Each structure stands twice: as C-alpha cells, then as structure tokens.
Amino acid sequence: MLRECCDGASELSLAAPSVRAALGELEQRYPSLYRSVCYENGAVRRHVSLFVNVDHIRDRQGLDTPLRPGDVVTILPAVSGG
Amino acid sequence: MPERIIVSIGTRKGLFVAEAPKGRGKFTLRGPFGSGVAVYTTLIDTRGTPRLYASSCNSFFGMKLLRSTDLGKTFKETRSTPAFPKEDGRALANIWSLEAGSGKRDLWCGVEPASLFRSDDGGDSWQMVSGISNHDHARKWQPGAGGLCLHTILRDGDRVHLGISTGGHYLSEDGGVTFAASNTGIGAGFVPDPYPEFGQCVHKIVGHRDAPGRLYLQNHGGWSDRPGIGVLRSDDHGHTWRSIAKGLPSDFGFPIAVHPHDPDTVYVLPLEPQTRTCPGGMPAVWRSDDGGDSWRRLSHGMPRRESFFTVQRDAMDIDELKSPALYFGTTTGQLWIGRDGGEDWSCLFDSLPPIHNVKVAVV
C-alpha cells in the first residue's frame, strides 16, 4: 500500500540527520507517503511504527533519533486491528 | 449511451459499484476498490462528465479520496485530502461527507473531528472553512458513537445546512462563510436541558429543490421521557423545527430520504433505540405522503422475522426516475431495493461487507 505512494519503490535513499528530517524529506518528495505515515500535525500515526535499524524510535529519541550514514529506517503497520 | 443506474456502496472493506440499465433489471457489481479499507462516504457527481468520489479511511495510514471518471470502473487517488493546518493541532480522523458545490468543480467535505473543507478543483486541493471548523461552539461539541463528525452538508443557494453529531444543526445564510446554531425545536435526550442551543445528536437532514425552506431531519430519538424528538420537519429554512414522529413505531433511526418529485413524501427507517436494530426483527421503511402527518409501513418483500440489522445514516438513498426506487444497505452486508417508491422490496446483493454508505444516480 505504501509503495503505491512512491512509484512502487520498496526502498528510498535519503540524506537526513534525524528521523524527523527524513520525514521532512519524504513530505517534500512523496507527500502521499508522508501523509500515510504522519498526521498533518506532524505526529506519527497511531498505528504506524518506525524503526531505526532494529530499534523502535520510541525506545530511542522518538522523531529526534539521530541518523548516521547507512542507517535503515523501516516503516511498518503496527500489529493491531480486527 | 442509454441512461443507467449507478449505485455506489461504501463498506467496511472497500467500495463497490453496482450498475443496471434504467429499467433496473439486472444489477452487476464491481469492486472492491480501495480493498480492505473502510469507505464512509461517496458522491456521484453528475455535473458534466460524471465523477464518482469515495473516501478511503485507513486506520493505519490515514485518509484518502478516490476519484473515478469512468463511472466506477477504475479509481485514482486525488492529489490531496482535507487536512488541518499544521499549527491547528487537530488531525483528520475520518471523512464523513462529500457534496457537490455551486461551481463546476467545487466540492464540500465534512470530516471528523467535526469540520468542513472546500475544494474548487475537484478534490485535488482543499481549504478549511473556518466559520464552522473554528466556531466558538466547536470545543464544546462531544463525539457520538460514530465519532465527532460533520456528516451532512445540504446546500440551498446561499444557505448551507450542516449536521454535526453531536453538535446539532448549523445554518449559514452567506454561502458558507459564517454559521449559527439553528436548533429551535430539536431536542436532546442525553443532557438536562431538553432543548439546548446546540449539542444535539442530529443523524441526517434532507431537503427538496421544489420546496424551498422545507427540511426533514432524523434526530437521535428513542427517549421515553422526551418522546417525538426523533423525526422533525422545518418549513422556514431550518430556523425552527417541529415533530412529525407521531405514528411511527420508533422515532429512533439514522437515514431519512425525500421523494425526488414530491416534497411531501418522506421516508424513514425506524430502529429500536437500545439495540439500533429493526423493531421486533421485522425490518420496514415507513413512508409519509403528507409531509409527516401520517405514516405507512412498507415491507413487502422484506423478511418478516429474525432480521436484526442496522441501516446507518448514509446508507439509504432514492433514485430520480419517474417512479423512484429506494436503496438501503445494512450492517449485515445486504443491499435492498424498494421499487415503486418502496412498495416492493428485494435484496440485490446478500453478502457484502458491512455497508456504511449508499448513493444512487441516473447517468
């Protein structure tokens, strides 16, 4: 579903110093993808999880989690629903 | 191309489109579109080249609007959806209503939390309507069971009627710039004041182009100590309202519809107020041919027992043929048609996902 928002790509390369900056980059390049991940007030959607490498960002510094070259940010739907 | 009936069916698991020749013989079904994602509102916009719109409300990835220019054979996402300004702090939780505006590509959209947006380019960009979205009352509105939603947008020239649950009826007389609560005669059973200035749980409002000023309203009724507040009529553009519930088995219900060629003929689908299902397990639409003075039960062809479904606020509509047919969708996934103005009912589709929304147009 998210791939439809970025021309079918399963991975994107971004240069950003933090998760927040990476999302800002997404907002510019792929607004539909950004809207799928974040509410319009900038918060990450309740049922979306962001990981930096293997760590959920809530266990790091949230949106201010720093990124280094080579880090992988993964967007996954949270396991919920019915 | 000969005229056809198009029925858009918004369900919990995506959008379906049913199509039939004008004679309403065999309906064929397409979909689901936006598969797996709930659709709470649809619009068949018949101005110029027909366009079909549907909200696609994904609890994981947010809201989208789908648009079709080929009568619901294919859909594409619009360039944007309504969104609150970043500094506003609110976030879009659902899209509840879509209506055509006055300009050729104008659209109006009601959302949760209760707010109104307008587009002048067919849904590719949206602007929040501050007059209602930032109304002084807005912070005092409370969510109903479906959320705090702006579910009804009814336009009549410079007048714009809005239905908000729970906020009540709001009226603009300047084309949608400013709005005022207009609830005189609309009761509430869940607050100490039986007739508050605002805060009513209005379920649906309909009007008629041939009867300016006439409106019908399905309110949250079903209160034994405040009887009759559930089905109402206005004859002064929604400034005052009076009960027309006498004769109905229940004044609780969600949808209300008016005959396309007779403003005195109005339809409701009464539900048992506690369970919100068909009274006694016997579904029926009730019709008044005299503007609500009297009512008649229409159930020929419907189950006579053991049917406890719910029909939601936007899940009943009526087509505009000379002898119109009603259509309603149930939370148990059935789409029913009531030919000859509701005299003769049959089930068109029996096993769809739970149905939120039904709209019909002759194109």
Q: Which of chain B's residues have a Cβ under 8 Å away from the Cβ of A45?
A: 60-62
Location of structure tokens 């020749």: B21
Structural domain boundaries enclosing A8: 3-77
Residue A82 falls within a domain, yes or no?
Answer: no
Determine whether the interchain pair B90/A77 forms a contact, defined as Cβ–Cβ distance below 8 Å.
no
Joined tokens for residue B261: 């060629």
B181-188 — which CB contacts under 8 Å span 24+ positions? B181/B137, B182/B238, B182/B239, B183/B241, B184/B239, B184/B240, B184/B241, B185/B232, B185/B234, B185/B240, B185/B241, B185/B242, B185/B243, B186/B217, B186/B219, B186/B229, B186/B232, B186/B241, B187/B219, B187/B223, B187/B226, B187/B229, B188/B220, B188/B229
Q: Do A77 and B61 touch (CB under 8 A)?
A: yes
In total, how many domains does chain A have? 1
pLDDT over 70, % of chain B? 99
pLDDT at B108 over 60: yes
What pLDDT, on a 0 to 100 scale, did the predictor assign at position B1?
Answer: 64
CA atoms within 13 A on the CB side of B130: 2
Least CB–CB distance from B86: residue in A42, A47, A81: A42
| Residue A12 covered by a domain | yes
- Do the chains contact at B84 and A40, CB–CB below 8 Å? yes
Contact (CB<8Å) B90/A41: yes
pLDDT of amino acid B236: 98
Question: Nearest by CB to A77, which of B60, B84, B89?
Answer: B60
Residues 21-40 of A with CB under 8 A from B: 31-32, 35-37, 39-40
Section B311-325 average pLDDT: 97
Q: Which of B260, B257, B349 is closest to B18 using CA atoms? A: B349
Q: Which of A41, A43, A45 lies at the smallest CB-CB distance from B60?
A: A45
Q: Cβ–Cβ of A41/B88 closer than 8 Å?
A: yes
Whether A42 is covered by a domain: the verdict is: yes
Chain A neighbors of B93, CB-CB under 8 A = none
Q: How confident is the model at residue A82 (pLDDT cuts 50, 70, 90)?
A: low
Of A31, A48, A81, the CB nearest to B61: A48
Q: What value does the mean pLDDT take over residues B138-143?
A: 91
Rounded to two decimals, the ipTM of the complex is 0.73
**Is residue A22 assigned to a domain?**
yes
Task: Look at residue B59 in the predicted model and tell me its pLDDT.
Answer: 83
Question: B82: nearest CA in chain A?
Answer: A40
Min CA distance, A50 vs chain B (Å)?
13
- pLDDT at position B148: 94
Return the pLDDT at B332. Answer: 97
For the segment B247-298, what is each residue's pLDDT rounded down to a tens digit? 999 999 999 999 999 999 999 999 999 999 999 999 999 999 999 999 999 9
**What is the per-residue pLDDT across B334-349, written as a single tens digit (0 to 9) for each?**
999 999 999 999 999 9
Provide the pLDDT for residue B52. Answer: 98
H/E run at residue B45: strand B42-45
Question: Of all residues in chain B, what percent carry a pLDDT higher than 90?
Answer: 93
- Among chain B residues, CA nearest to A77: B60
Element (DSSP H or E) covering residue B362:
strand B355-362
Sign of CA dihedral B95, B96, B102, B104: positive
The CATH number assigned to the domain holding A12 equals 3.10.20.30
Residues of A in Cβ contact (< 8 Å) with B81: 35
Give how far Cα B223 sits from Cα of B190, B219, B252, B273, Å: 9, 11, 9, 8
Q: Residue B40 has what pLDDT?
A: 97
Contact of B56 with chain A, judged by CB distance below 8 Å, is answered with no
pLDDT at A46: 87
One-character DSSP codes across B158-216: TEEEEEEETBEEEEESSSSSS-EE--BT---SSSSSSS-SS-B-EEEEEE-TTSTT-EE
Q: How far is A48 from chain B (nearest CA, A)?
A: 6
Q: Please state the separation of Cα B290 from the chain's center in Å.
A: 22
d(CA A6, CA B329): 35
Do residues B114 and B162 lie in contact, with contact meaning Cβ atoms separated by under 8 Å? no
Q: How far A25 CA sits from the closest chain B CA (Å)?
A: 16
Is B83 part of the contact surface with chain A (CB cutoff 8 Å)? yes
Residue A1: the pLDDT is 81
The reply to whether A13 touches chain B by the CB within 8 Å rule is: no
> Which positions in chain A touch B90 (Cβ < 8 Å)?
41
A12 and B CB contact within 8 Å: no
Distance separating alpha carbons of residues B185 and B175, to the nearest angstrom: 24
pLDDT tens for residues A25-66? 999 999 999 999 999 999 999 889 899 999 999 999 999 999
